[in-house]
Amino acid sequence: MRRLQIVHLYPRDMNLYGDRGNVLALVRRAQWRGWDASVVEVEPGDTVAWGDADLAFIGGGEDRHQAWIAEDLSGRAREMTAALADGLPLLAVCGGFQLLGREYQAQDGRVMPGIGWFDAITRAGPRGRHVGNVVATAALPLDPPTLVGFENHAGETVLQPGQDPLARVRVGVGNNGRDGTEGAVAGHAVGTYLHGSLLPKNPHLADWLLAKAQMRRTGDERLEPLADDWEWAAHAERAAEPRR
């Protein structure tokens, strides 16, 4: 039986707007394929056996939570980036995405160092919060290429030269509302501002992460297809919403 271990980083403090649903979606889609899926929840100070991990997730959090999460995450930077360099798939949403970049400067001026996996810098923006539904076209080889989700963030992220975005925004703000980018991709790690939860409404992205997890262990990224009628109905409904 295929084994899947998901490392869920900081579920207590980094779990805004249904982010935990992404982990539930990954577990369920693995179980539907007959895999033995488990979740290891990691809080500040906990030890992580990265060699046993098949996939990782970190959600979004408020600034007051991000401050101490950033400190703990910096202590994991060497081992975590080594695992990512070895092909570990990861999904990072909103605050998690920011802390996997170079740094995040909060509204009060505090600068929180990131682990630098994504070549991106985030500043609290002057225009208030960006809230609403998002429709974007993925840069990943997804079929269809559309991604849908919900954003609620004040941070504005700028990707540095050479850093690939996850997608290009068609509806919504995305990273900063100026350059049309949404999220970032480096190796098999995906960063994004899309909450909602993201993966239940984007089963092709969930399967992209699962396929990379399987490939890392077996060399084969082919997955058995699933009957995703409900997931695609939710995706289509959100994708059809008019420009806000």
Distance (Å, rounded) from C-alpha 19 to C-alpha 37? 18
Which of the residues 8, 195, 204, 235 is marked catalytic?
Answer: 195
Q: Where on the phi/psi map is residue 75: left (φ > 0), alpha (ψ -120 to 50), or beta?
A: alpha
In eight-state DSSP terms, residue 163 is: P
Nearest residue to 78 via CA among 116, 28, 39 = 116
Distance (Å, rounded) from C-alpha 52 to C-alpha 5? 7
Which of the residues 94, 130, 188, 235 is marked catalytic?
Answer: 94
Nearest residue to 194 via CA among 172, 220, 179 = 172
Catalytic status, residue 130: no
Catalytic status, residue 195: yes
Q: Where are the beta strands (DSSP E) in 46-163?
A: 55-58, 90-93, 103-105, 111-113, 120-124, 130-138, 146-153, 155-159
Distance (Å, rounded) from C-alpha 67 to C-alpha 98? 12
CA 16 from centre of chain: 13
Give the residue numbers annotated as catalytic, written as ranges: 94, 195
